[in-house]
Amino acid sequence: MLSAFLNIFRIPDLRNRVLFTLGMLVIYRVGFWIPLIGVDQAALSNLAEKATEDATGFGRLLQFASIFSGGSLQQSTVFGLGIAPYITASIIFQLLQTVYPPLAALKKEGMSGQQKVMEYTRYATVALCFVQGFMWLGYLYSQNLVEPQYVSGGGRMVFYVSGVTALVAGSLFLMWLGEQIDKFGIGNGISIILTAGILARMPAAIQWLFDNFNPSVQASDGKVGALGLVLLVACFVAVVMGAVIMTVATRRIPIQQAKHVSGRRMYGGGRHYLPLRLNHAGVMPIIFASSLMIFPSMILGWLAGLATSGGWSQWLVESTAFLAQNFQMGAYPYVLVEIVLIYVFSYFWVTIQMSPEEMSKQLKEHGSFIPNVRPGPRTAEYLEDVISRITYVGAGFLCVIAIIPTLVSEAFGVPPYVSQFLGGTGLLIVVSVALDIVQRLEANLLMRNYSGFLSDGAQDGPRIRSARAT
């Protein structure tokens, strides 16, 4: 492992790519500390901390948004929106490509069509930046989180114009940084920036554990004992291992190529595999389910407060309070509904991304078939059955990953920003991006006759000698 890491810096091109990526991440983190004009940062931080600890709707909204903004939204910096508008626009156009014929036609045109779709995505990103920027500044103004000189008159205009301009420019600059990493760095730029924002919150989680650690075996009064710390570390290792295994797991379907004769020679007849990822939907089902689950608790909490102060009947007051309590994070109905939504969105995402009929058609056009399965509609039915089964398993894995942070937070009494590293969207994103970077580094090292992270160092000698001999 150490030799493979050192080999990265022995290759000038790969070394420059890694250093360029690190430099772009440093720029990203510098922008994290540039605040917006007119925002009372101390009051905003206190409100966000209180809302997060009380698990209110606003606190959960901040937790969800901080995944895509690196936590900078609650500090209200120039990078406050993060790359969330770009990700939202990308998801929208990815879905539209499956249902809107003109975009579907562009998708089939290859690279030129994809560049046109990317251009539309950038335009949509700018529009979303303006909308989200105005909404965020409007919320700050409604909560009296604006400094007095920017409350009324010309100061209010300055606050909105400067704030929206800074937020839009910051989000577009991050999009540009991601594109530069794609060209001159290593890995997917947008995903790397997203991962950096997630990992930036890890020191705060470690600091909380350090401040609340009690050497006794079973601590109380909100402290984490030695046994609790061991269980947390073991849970973190087990979840990461499971996430890695499930992320790279595939169902390999054997594919046989038909034989054909040309002149006196016979071609084809080879045997290969069609890999189907067990978790093809990735983190999208959790993102969709988590975003939808924010609204019931917010709406029911608002109704509960309105029922208490609005003179409603006792039955309505008790019913609304009961529903609001049972749809808080960690409650059994909340977890059950979230699991159902994850399964629904898993099948929905796989359905729009994978077409068994199209896969069967492509196999037939290339002269390939699945052994013991008739080409055509029967192959499509077989692929649909396989995809349905592996999606069921993948969705179950996503459900476990999604509810682990909630269970750990309830069982050990740790805040959500600590338990989020034991599962959820953030962990899956970090694991996926880390695996992608390792695979890219591995490919670059092997291409230059060096051993990689995933290969046996004992093979260095034969590989290099055979390359020199040729």
Q: Tell me the domains of the chain and their CATH numbers.
A: 1-200 (1.10.3370.10)
For the range 111-118, what are the long-range contacts, defined as Cβ-Cβ under 8 Å and sequence gap of 24 or more?
117/93
Q: Which residues of the chain have pLDDT under 70?
A: 1-2, 48-75, 217-222, 260-264, 266-269, 297-298, 300-318, 320-321, 324, 326, 329-330, 449-470
CA angle 33, 91, 429 (to 5 degrees): 55
> Distance between CA 207 and CA 218 in Å, rounded?
20
Spell 294-330 as b/e; 16+ CB within 10 A means b.
bebbbebbebbeebeeeeeeeeebeebbebbebbbbe
Q: What is the 3-state secondary structure (H, E, C) of the chain?
A: CHHHHHHHCCCHHHHHHHHHHHHHHHHHHHHCCCECCCECHHHHHHHHHHHHHCCCHHHHHHHHHHHHHCCHHHHCECCCCCCHHHHHHHHHHHHHHHHCHHHHHHHHCCHHHHHHHHHHHHHHHHHHHHHHHHHHHHHHHHCCCECHHHCCCHHHHHHHHHHHHHHHHHHHHHHHHHHHHHHHCCCCHHHHHHHHHHHCCHHHHHHHHHHCECCCCCCCCCCECHHHHHHHHHHHHHHHHHHHHHHHCEEEEEEEECEEEECCEEEECCEEEEEEECCCCCCHHHHHHHHHHHHHHHHHHHHHHHHHHCCCCHHHHHHHHHHHHHCCCCCHHHHHHHHHHHHHHHHHHHHHHCCHHHHHHHHHHCCEECCCCCCCHHHHHHHHHHHHHHHHHHHHHHHHHHHHHHHHHHHHCCCHHHHHHHCHHHHHHHHHHHHHHHHHHHHHHHHCCCCCCCCCHHHHHHHHHHHHHC
Token pair of 64 as six digits: 């969800």
Determine whether 152 is exposed, middle or buried from the number of CB atoms within 10 Å of its CB (0-12, 13-18, 19+): exposed
Listed in sequence order, the residues at least 6 apart from 8 whose beta carbon sits closer than 8 Å to its beta carbon are 14, 15, 18, 441, 445
> Distance between CA 335 and CA 382 in Å, rounded?
33
Q: How are beta strands 265-268 and 271-277 bridged, if at all?
A: unpaired
Query: What per-residue confidence (pLDDT) applies to 127?
Result: 92
Task: Tell me which residue has tokens 């160092």.
Answer: 457
> Distance between CA 66 and CA 60 in Å, rounded?
10
> Distance between CA 126 and CA 177 in Å, rounded?
15
pLDDT in tens, 319-331: 766 776 767 766 7
Query: What per-residue confidence (pLDDT) applies to 467?
Result: 37
> Distance between CA 201 and CA 70 in Å, rounded?
7
CA angle 207, 211, 214 (to 5 degrees): 130
Count of CA atoms in the C-beta half-sphere (13 A) of 223: 15
pLDDT in tens, 425-465: 778 888 888 888 888 888 888 777 666 665 554 444 434 33
418 neighbors 222 (Cβ within 8 angstroms)? no
Residue positions counted in the chain: 470
> Distance between CA 129 and CA 137 in Å, rounded?
12
Query: What per-residue confidence (pLDDT) applies to 126?
Result: 92
> Distance between CA 123 and CA 89 in Å, rounded?
9
Query: What per-residue confidence (pLDDT) applies to 464?
Result: 36
273 neighbors 253 (Cβ within 8 angstroms)? yes
> Distance between CA 234 and CA 357 in Å, rounded?
44
> Distance between CA 449 and CA 412 in Å, rounded?
49
> Distance between CA 382 and CA 360 in Å, rounded?
10
| Global confidence as pTM | 0.77
